[in-house]
Amino acid sequence: MDQYKKDFIDFMVASDVLKFGEFTLKSGRTSPFFMNAGAYTTGEQLHQLGLYYARAIESAFGLDFDIVFGPAYKGIPLSVVTAMGLAELFGKEVQYCSNRKEVKDHGEGGNLLGASLQDGMRVVMVEDVTTSGKSIDETYPLLTGAAKVDVVGLMVSLNREEVGPSGSKAAIDEVSDKYGFPTAAIVSMHEVIDYLFGKEVDGHLLIDDALKNKLDAYYAQYGVKSC
């Protein structure tokens, strides 16, 4: 595993973004872990988050694009800090763009904020996680309806590696199949488990044998079988 991935896992834990326990998801599933990107609240946390996204995007998709697009609401700050991270790490100047949940009917109006989309622009989309693809289903038509843009790829912070609505593939893979652009994650949940299992964090094991058994049982029921 690349060092930046290990560093990112440590960063999620230290920021209290990745938690282990018992959590009820929107899907109704009871999960032994939960990732909440909304817990990144400080300036330095957001700064580091943007650098991790920038590094992962460069590794997965390269730097030949013009716009970072983040679906509202959590994708709005993600798109901003990722654009800043790309400038800092690679000297790559890109613009950010996001959608509004409600169309603005005054001022400049419209349902997008940030950069104005133009024909021929190349776009990278950013999200925290993709569990059903619903936000992409809502925002992809906005992107392609605003201009003839080319979506280079979708980057998420964590691939939960659970089956999506089709019941056979991970949600981010379903997005890729449906829309024809590549998807990637800074880390996968199996990378997280492999890295943290048996590793002491602040003097105790974050993933001990008991929790590992719960995680294994969860993925036996909901996980993508090829993982």
Flag whether pLDDT at 165 surpasses 80.
no
**Rounded Cα distance, 195 and 189, in Å:** 10
Angle separating helix axes 43-61 and 75-90, nearest 10 degrees:
70
Q: Looking at residue 200, what is its pLDDT?
A: 85
- Percent with pLDDT over 70 in the chain: 93
Active site residue 104: yes
Active site residue 148: no
Domain 3-222 has CATH 3.40.50.2020: yes
Contacts 24+ apart (CB under 8 A), 222-225: 222/29, 222/162, 222/163, 223/161, 223/162, 223/163, 224/161, 224/162, 224/163, 224/168, 224/169, 224/170, 224/173, 225/168
Q: Which of 104, 134, 148, 178 is catalytic?
A: 104
pLDDT range class, residue 67, cuts 50, 70, 90: very high
Mean pLDDT computed over 139-163: 92
pLDDT range class, residue 120, cuts 50, 70, 90: very high
pLDDT range class, residue 101, cuts 50, 70, 90: low
Q: Choose the weakest-confidence range: 35-39, 81-85, 98-102, 213-217.
A: 98-102
Flag whether pLDDT at 226 surpasses 80.
no
**Hey, is 175 helix, strand or coil?**
helix
Flag whether pLDDT at 52 surpasses 70.
yes
pLDDT per position as a tens digit, 105-118: 544 546 888 899 99
Mean pLDDT computed over 65-72: 94
**Rounded Cα distance, 151 and 169, in Å:** 21
How many CB atoms are closer than 10 A to CB 169?
A: 17
Q: Which of 5, 19, 26, 106 is catalytic?
A: 106
Flag whether pLDDT at 166 surpasses 80.
no
**Rounded Cα distance, 67 and 96, in Å:** 6
* Beta partners for residue 58, in sequence order: none
Q: Beta strand 67-70 with 30-35: parallel, antiparallel or unpaired? A: unpaired
Specify whether the CB–CB gap between 206 and 33 falls below 8 A: no
Specify whether the CB–CB gap between 139 and 35 falls below 8 A: no
